[in-house]
Structures are given as C-alpha cells and as structure tokens.
Structure 1
Amino acid sequence: MTNLKERYFVRFWSPLSAVVAAGIMSTLYFGITGTFWAVTGEFTRWGGHLLQFAGFHPENWAYFKVIGLQGAPWNRIDGMMVIGMFAGSLAAALWARNVKLRFPRRKRRIAQALIGGAIAGFGARLAMGCNLAAFFTGIPQFSLHAWLFALSTVMGSYFGTRVALMRFLQADAKLVRVDKRRPASTAVESSRQFRIGMAVFVVAVGAGVAALFGQPKLGMAGLFGIGFGLLIERAQICFTSAFRDMWITGRTAMARAIIIGMMVSAFGIFSYVQLGVAPKIYWAGPNAILGGVLFGFGIVIAGGCETGWIYRSMEGQVHYWWVGVGNIAGATVLAANWDTLGPALATRYPKVNLLVTLSPAGGLVATYAGLAASFLLLLWWERRFGQRQRARETNVEPQEAFQ
C-alpha cells in the first residue's frame, strides 16, 4: 500500500503520458460540452465581475458581448471547469505533501510576476486564447489563428528569455544544509496533508457528481476540471518551461510531448466535427500574431503560463498568486480596450477553418503535417544546441564541430 501511494500520489507522473491523457480528455470535453479546454476567457470574466462589484458596468463592453458575462463562475461551463482545476491541483499537491507557503526572496519578483502576468493576460485575450485555447486545444480545432498564435508565442518566448536572463532578474542562490532525517513532526504533517488532499478530492468530485443530476454539462465540466488539475500538478505541465528550456538548455522533451498530445487530440476533434460538433474558430488576423508575441514574452517574464500558475499557486508558491492577479488584470485591460483594438486587429479579418478552406481531408493532413514538421524541427534544434554546447566546452568553433 505504501509503495502504491508513493508511486501514484507522491511521485511526479510522466509528462508525456500526462500530456497525452490531457489531449484525450480535452477531446472528450469538447465532444461532451461543445467547448474547449480554456481558462483565460473565464479569468477575464472574473475581472469583469470584480469591476461590477466596484460599481462599473463592463457587461456593456463589446468584448463581454462576445465572450459573455452572464451568471457566476459556478453556473458557467468554463467557470466550473476552472474551479475544478484549482480543486484538482490542490488535492494533487496535498497528496504529494507539496503544499507549503513559499515567498519570493526579492520584492522585485512580485513586480516581475505582476508585469509578466499582465502582458501574458493581455496578449492571450487579444488572440482570443492562451496556451490552451489558442495552442494546445486551438490547433486541434483546425483554426488558422491558433497556428499564427503558436508560432508567434515561440518568437515571443525567445525575447522573453533574453530579458529574463539579465542579471538583475536572476534569483539569488542560497545554499541550505539539509538534514536527510525526517523529523517526526514533519512525518505527521505529511500524513495530515495527504488526508486533507483526499478530503478535497472527495468533496470536489461529490460536488461535480451532484451537479450532474441538475445540470449535466456543468457537472461534467467540474469533473473534467478536476482531472485537468490532477494532470497539470502531478506532471508539472507548464508551457513556459517547454519554451524556456528550448532556448536556455536545448531540451525539448516537454515541447515534443505537447505536440504528441495535440496529435492525439486532433483526430478525436476531427471525428466529433464530422458528427456535427462545431469547432471553435477565431479571427486569423494581426491580433493572433501580436497576442502570441506578447503572451510568449509575458509568460517567460512571469515564470509561468496559465496552467503553470494555477497548480503552483495551489502548492503555496506566493509568486504565482501575483502572476494570476496580473493575468486577470491584463485580460481585463484588453477587454476595456477591445472597441479600439478589436476592429483594427481582429474582427475585420476572416475566421479560417482549415477543414472548410482545405476540405476535411486536406485540413486534417495539413494539421498533422504541421505538427510532424514541428516535432522534427524540435529534434533538430535539440541536436544542434547540444553540438554547439559541446563545441564551446572544447573550445572548438561551431562550424568545425558540424563538419
């Protein structure tokens, strides 16, 4: 029993397996609820609700007429799913005895979190999606805007990495002596966290199941959200690390896992579309490109994307609470300025569905060809980065090392 607990509840899960599972779950989520796995649209609504509480009327803004601001998070599909993600992440972190308040060592990290989070939130909503709706679940929806966003995010993450590597933004290294023996009090606290985690999980699942009897889609959204939360926390799925690692260390394992997850999801989405479920298609305009660059830059500066800050905030990492605040603020600022930015950058451009533009077969083949090419490009980049590193270590010019 102890080994089972350590293996499935305490140890981290394989990122590849978890991302593939997320791809399958996001496909089923689309088929059942008719929408995709996405979070920043709901975070923007949270910002709208805060403004309503303060006496403003954002429900009259054009942006909220596009994404809606009716009801409350617990009676919206997206809201229930996001609440489920927080609950699932918290339960998973507690199972692993990984919940502990961790404060940033330097105050400037809070400013970095707020600014990076705000830039990422603004960019995500400008493009009508984040690393989920305009990337991981957007590309399998066969929307051209998701490809524009994805490529621009890669570019933005490169520039973000250059800034994040500047000395004044680097964290201070501090060596601490660690006693390998676990004190009895620590063992008791660990056991308590595991039990609390189980309680959180049971209550969350119970709430989702109860909702099934009154509003089935809301109940399913909550249950799927719990599943997504478990996956991102136990496998530490963060798109920021995928992009950042690619530029800093040359490692592309997470990025390749994400592509495989999209490959798995695309076929399932295609099947549902053929059965009559409409995909989510958005404007393929400058908004997707500019939004992607801002999003990629912002998540690297902040240190986490939407999935990353959700599970890390549940682990007690205070830095990521501020990333979330910045994210919601940035998305809300975009909503407030949509009347100006929307017509100029988005709504005047077409919504390109690859399954319509290229035919169902053509759109499916083009999507898989793009994903396969991206996978091969990542392999090439990792090999090239490794060769250059070895060349530097041996004081050999890179041109000579490639001969």
Structure 2
Amino acid sequence: MGFGAKIAGGCNIGALFSSLPQFNLSGWIFLLFVFLGATAGGRLLRNFFEPPVSNKRPNRKRLTPEQRKQRRIIQIVLGVVLTLVVVIVSFVVAPSYPKAPGIIFVGIGLGYVMQRSRFCFTAAYRDPGLTGETKLTRAVIVALALSTILFFGIQASKYGIDLANLQSTPGGTVNLSLVIGSFVFGIGAVLAGGCASGTFVRMGEGYLQNYIAFVFFACGTALGEVFNIATKGTFVKAGSPIYLPQLFGGMMPALFIQLLVLLALWVLAYWWEQRKIAQRNAQSN
C-alpha cells in the first residue's frame, strides 16, 4: 500500500481528491486502477486470506461492563491529551510554518468525521465486487462531485473561467507509474484492512493490525522512493499532467462532463447494488 501510494504520487487524498476535482485526468486514472486493484485484492482476500470457519469459540477473556467502561475512559483521555499536544506543537512551529495550525485542525476534523461516519475509501472500492454493496461507493462519488463544484468555484474566483489566466496546470502526472501505483495501492489497502486514512482512524480505535499495517506502510513508502529514484527519466515516469478544461475546450464543458460522468457512475453503482440484492433474494427463494 505504501509502495503504491508513493509511486502513484499519493493515496486517496493526494492522488484522487487533490486531482480529480481539479479536472486533472490523473485523478480519474487513479480512481479506475485503484478500483481494479481493490477488486483484485478482494478476490485475494476471499480466496487466500479469509480465516477458516470454525464452530469453536475463541478462548478469550470477556471483559465486564466496568472494565470496558474503564478502558474507554483511558482511550478518551489519551486521545484528548495527544490532541492537545499536537495542537500546542502546531502553534509552536506556526512562526516558521504558519499553515501548521490550520492543517492540524483540518486533520482533527477529518479524523473525527471519518471515525463517527464509518466512512472508508477501501470499502467503497472493495464492496461492489465482494458483497455487491455500493453505499460507500456512492458516498465517494457524491464527495467527488461536491469537491468538483467547490474547486471550480475556487478556481473561477481566482483565475476566472478563461484558460489563458491559468498560471499552471493543477494535478498529477499521467504515466505508467501512476497506473502501477494505484493498482498496487488498491490491492494493499484491501489486504491491510484500510487505506492510509482508514489505517490512522483504526489505530486511534486501538486495532493492533493497523499499527502493523502502518509500520509496513512506512517500509513500502521507502521502497517506493527507491523505485522512483531508479526509474527517474525512464518510460515509467514519462508523461505530463492532462488538464481536462484544456482537453474539452474550457472550464464549463469540463465541469459539465465531469459531473455527468460522476452522475452516471452513481446510477451504475445503485443499479449494481439493486441487481445483487435481487439475485440474493432469488437464491433465497
């Protein structure tokens, strides 16, 4: 997962939500191949990594309600203390890095929303092929549509809708490294039980497997950097950003086409879920 994110130029946040809403083709390519990778990862998970079914209950010590309450209090206290420490540090470094407090508060808000909403990018890619459910898939599509509208407003207010006013082309580079990285990232996220953001959320919830995933995510990132250095200047890295407004002849056509495609994907996801539900109902009858 870390390897894929590094060579793709980012994970769901960096390579998808920072590119697709800004009308860069790299975001669409990441979305396509991370979906394919997650589908492949789901097959691997089901066929090779799913634990065997056993009627024997695991020999675990059951906690009393008082013990569970005590552990929950400890977790909350530790979370509050850690949050305060991070916030204080952000203000300490603010003179040299003014954006630090804002970034920290956005991160805290994102973590809280993702934990409370049970929002999961990995499940959004994995579930359509594994279980047929597309609730989270449709949520990601809606989020991308809203982000597209928001970024369009920001770009239009700053540069206008005239492409001649753009100082640079936003987004990532379209190349083979992006394709390979996003596909590998999709596989790794499913096998690890969450993407980068999901891993952090579940670490906060106390899941040991995600601490292990985080360690190997860091190792994979280091390997990805080695790969980037080794392939620099080769055909793997050859490419350039492709800005959809330039491709479609303007900001408004790009906005219309992108929202139309996202709407079509939402309808397709809804149809797929209803089809799977109908199939399960037919089998049960």
Q: Which amino acid aligns with 2:100?
A: L
User: Could you list the per-position Cα deviations for residues 97-126 of structure 1 after superposition, in whole angstroms to 9, with x for gaps in the alignment?
Assistant: xxxxxxxxxxxxxxxxxxxxxxx2222222
Q: After the TM superposition, which residues 251-330 of structure 1 pair with which residues of structure 2 at under 5 Å, given as runs?
A: 251-274=133-156, 275-276=158-159, 280-330=170-220
| Equivalent position of 2:65 in the other structure | 182
Residue 336, structure 1, aligned to residue 226, structure 2: yes
Residue 160, structure 1, aligned to residue 36, structure 2: no
Give the conservation status (yes or no) of the 8 Å contact 1:252–1:378. yes
Tell me: CA distance 1:211–1:251, structure 2 relative to 1, closer, same or farther (3 Å): same
Give the conservation status (yes or no) of the 8 Å contact 1:284–1:346. no
1:241 corresponds, among 117, 123, 129, to 123
Tell me: CA distance 1:281–1:229, structure 2 relative to 1, closer, same or farther (3 Å): same
| Equivalent position of 2:279 in the other structure | 388
Q: Which amino acid aligns with 1:316?
A: G
Give the conservation status (yes or no) of the 8 Å contact 1:152–1:296. yes
User: Could you list the per-position Cα deviations for residues 208-228 of structure 1 after superposition, in whole angstroms to 9, with x for gaps in the alignment?
Assistant: 345445532122122222222
Residue 146, structure 1, aligned to residue 27, structure 2: yes
Q: Which amino acid aligns with 1:182?
A: P
Q: Equivalents in 2 of 1:180, 1:340: separation in Å?
A: 51
Tell me how large the CA RMSD over aligned residues is.
Answer: 2.6
Q: Which amino acid aligns with 2:180?
A: L
Percent identity between the two aligned chains: 27
Q: Equivalents in 2 of 1:262, 1:227: separation in Å?
A: 18
Residue 226, structure 1, aligned to residue 108, structure 2: yes
Q: Equivalents in 1 of 2:244, 2:145: separation in Å?
A: 15
User: Could you list the per-position Cα deviations for residues 298-357 of structure 1 after superposition, in whole angstroms to 9, with x for gaps in the alignment?
Assistant: 211222111111111222212111211222222221211224434344542221011232
| Equivalent position of 1:4 in the other structure | none
Gaps of 5+ in 2: 160-166
Count residues in correspondence.
274
Q: Which moved more, 1:131-140 or 1:201-210?
A: 201-210
| Equivalent position of 1:371 in the other structure | 262
Deviation at 1:128, TM superposition (A): 1.0
Deviation at 1:169, TM superposition (A): 3.5
User: Could you list the per-position Cα deviations for residues 48-97 of structure 1 after superposition, in whole angstroms to 9, with x for gaps in the alignment?
Assistant: xxxxxxxxxxxxxxxxxxxxxxxxxxxxxxxxxxxxxxxxxxxxxxxxxx
Residue 354, structure 1, aligned to residue 235, structure 2: no
Q: Equivalents in 2 of 1:271, 1:392: separation in Å?
A: 48
Deviation at 1:379, TM superposition (A): 0.6
Give the conservation status (yes or no) of the 8 Å contact 2:19–2:172. no
Give the conservation status (yes or no) of the 8 Å contact 1:157–1:293. yes
| Equivalent position of 1:70 in the other structure | none
Q: Which amino acid aligns with 1:314?
A: G
Q: Equivalents in 2 of 1:272, 1:248: separation in Å?
A: 37
Q: Which moved more, 1:222-231 or 1:344-353?
A: 344-353
Q: Equivalents in 1 of 2:206, 2:61: separation in Å?
A: 21
SS for the counterpart of 1:219 is helix
Gaps of 5+ in 1: 1-119, 395-403
Deviation at 1:386, TM superposition (A): 1.3
Deviation at 1:150, TM superposition (A): 0.6
Q: Which amino acid aligns with 2:115?
A: E
Residue 123, structure 1, aligned to residue 14, structure 2: no
Q: Equivalents in 1 of 2:212, 2:80: separation in Å?
A: 27
TM-score of the aligned structures, taking structure 1 as reference length: 0.61
Q: After the TM superposition, which residues 39-58 of structure 1 pair with which residues of structure 2 at under 5 Å, given as runs?
A: none
Q: Which moved more, 1:269-278 or 1:161-170?
A: 269-278
Q: Which amino acid aligns with 1:271?
A: G
Q: Which amino acid aligns with 2:189?
A: I
Q: Equivalents in 1 of 2:192, 2:95: separation in Å?
A: 40
Give the conservation status (yes or no) of the 8 Å contact 2:4–2:182. yes
Q: Equivalents in 1 of 2:128, 2:148: separation in Å?
A: 24
Deviation at 1:254, TM superposition (A): 1.0
| Equivalent position of 1:197 in the other structure | 79
Q: Which has the higher contact order (CA 8 A, sep 6+)?
A: 2
SS for the counterpart of 1:250 is coil
Tell me: CA distance 1:390–1:328, structure 2 relative to 1, closer, same or farther (3 Å): same
Q: Equivalents in 2 of 1:198, 1:334: separation in Å?
A: 34
| Equivalent position of 1:9 in the other structure | none
SS for the counterpart of 1:273 is helix
Give the conservation status (yes or no) of the 8 Å contact 1:283–1:349. yes
Give the conservation status (yes or no) of the 8 Å contact 2:245–2:251. yes
TM-score of the aligned structures, taking structure 2 as reference length: 0.84
